């Protein structure tokens, strides 16, 4: 299934792009605030990817005697992140591969579950949320951050071209419009105190073009848009950065909920 398989096997060029895209950045500070880390806190980062965010959390938890378990479907991410943690002498982080969405931890064992830009790819949303509910301690919190590919601005493309582009890439996701579904899904799975906020930065410099290039590579694999059209759309973006006409807004849904005591 493409939406899982393209994470299981990542070609070197795309892997390098992810290592660039998913670096920890100061504008991700609200994620750490939302976690409300405390002394002895155990955090699960589900779908940790290259691991930069998990690493940042582990660094902050060092002084608090807290720890991080970080899992991902991609073995190469896990191997590289494990090596980096060893190089950094970070002893409170443990990376583990998961092939099936299961978390290698006992029931009621973590205080926080963080899941950033992952749930759009999981085969069964409710099964995945049930697994988070299983491992979170009563009173613990889940924080999910995700996009919604029906809620994106790309200029100079305009709305109809942007919609056509993301429709053409749709098979890359199990649930492309995950953002709007998260609060309802958490309520349905038994979490309480569900809260949603939306954060939208504006990219004017072309930093987000890597995301659009990944989408373009999926579209070419699916054959859902002619290659010369895809190439022209990407060139339009590069030109637009140069002449100040580029704008990319990809709002992020921040959805948190509590496991009842």
Ligand X SMILES: C[S@@+](CC[C@H](N)C(=O)[O-])C[C@H]1O[C@@H](n2cnc3c(N)ncnc32)[C@H](O)[C@@H]1O
Nearer to ligand X, 35 or 240 (CB): 35
Task: Rank residues 8 and 229 by Cβ distance to ligand X and give the closer one.
Answer: 8
What is the rounded CA–CA span in Å between residue 193 and residue 187?
8
Contacts with ligand X, residue ranges (CB under 6 A): 4, 7, 22, 47-49, 53, 72-74, 77, 98, 101, 116-118, 121-122
Start-to-end Cα distance in the chain: 37
- Nearer Cβ to ligand X, position 37 or 161? 37
CB 126 within 8 A of CB 183: no
Nearest to 258 by CA among 118, 120, 112: 112
Instruction: Write down the least CB distance from residue 239 to ligand X, Å.
Output: 27
DSSP per-residue letters across 173-240 = -S-TTHHHHHHHHHHHTT-EEEEEEEE--EE-SSTTHHHHHHHHHHHHHHT-S-HHHHHHHHHHHHHH
| Least CB distance to ligand X at residue 102 (A) | 9
Strand order in the sheet with 153-155: 153-155, 247-249, 202-203
State the nearest-atom distance from the C-beta of 47 to ligand X, in Å.
3
Query: Which C-beta is closer to ligand X: that of 101 or that of 150?
Result: 101
Single out the residue of 145, 21, 16 nearest to residue 76, CA to CA. Answer: 16
DSSP H helices, 88-193, are 125-135, 159-168, 178-188
- Closest separation in Å from C-beta 164 to ligand X: 22
CB of 162 to ligand X, least distance (A): 19
- Residue 115 CB, shortest distance to ligand X, in Å, is 7
Query: Which whole-number Å values give the CA distances from 143 to 115, 173, 235, in the listed order?
Result: 6, 20, 36
Of residues 61 and 122, the one with the C-beta less far from ligand X: 122
User: Of 71, 73, 70, which is closest to residue 8 (Cα–Cα)?
Assistant: 73
Nearer to ligand X, 41 or 122 (CB): 122
Report the residue closest to ligand X, judged by CB: 49
Q: Find out whether 108 and 131 touch, Cβ atoms under 8 Å.
A: no
Least separation in angstroms between CB 176 and ligand X: 13
Nearer to ligand X, 152 or 240 (CB): 152
């Amino acid at each position: 299934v493409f939406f899982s398989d393209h994470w299981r096997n990542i070609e070197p060029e795309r892997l390098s792009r992810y290592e660039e895209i998913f670096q920890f950045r100061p504008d991700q500070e609200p994620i750490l605030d939302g976690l409300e880390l405390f002394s002895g806190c155990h955090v699960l980062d589900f779908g940790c990817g290259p691991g930069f965010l998990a690493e940042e959390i582990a660094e902050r938890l060092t002084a608090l005697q807290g720890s991080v378990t970080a899992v991902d479907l991609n073995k190469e991410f896990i191997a590289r992140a494990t090596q980096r943690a060893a190089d950094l002498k970070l002893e409170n982080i443990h990376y583990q591969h998961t092939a099936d969405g299961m978390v290698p931890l006992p029931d009621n064992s973590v205080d926080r579950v963080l899941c950033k830009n992952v749930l759009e790819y999981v085969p069964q949303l409710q099964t995945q949320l049930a697994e988070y509910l299983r491992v979170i301690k009563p009173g613990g919190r889940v924080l999910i951050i995700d996009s919604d590919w029906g809620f994106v601005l790309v200029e100079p493309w305009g709305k109809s071209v942007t919609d056509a582009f993301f429709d053409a890439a749709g098979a890359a996701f199990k649930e492309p419009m995950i953002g709007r579904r998260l609060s309802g899904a958490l309520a349905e799975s038994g979490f309480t105190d569900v809260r949603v906020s939306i954060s939208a930065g504006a990219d004017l410099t072309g930093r987000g073009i890597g995301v659009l290039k990944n989408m373009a590579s999926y579209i070419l694999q699916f054959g859902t848009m002619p290659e010369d059209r895809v190439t022209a759309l990407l060139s339009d973006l590069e030109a637009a950065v140069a002449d100040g006409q580029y704008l990319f807004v990809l709002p992020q849904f921040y959805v948190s909920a509590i496991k009842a005591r």
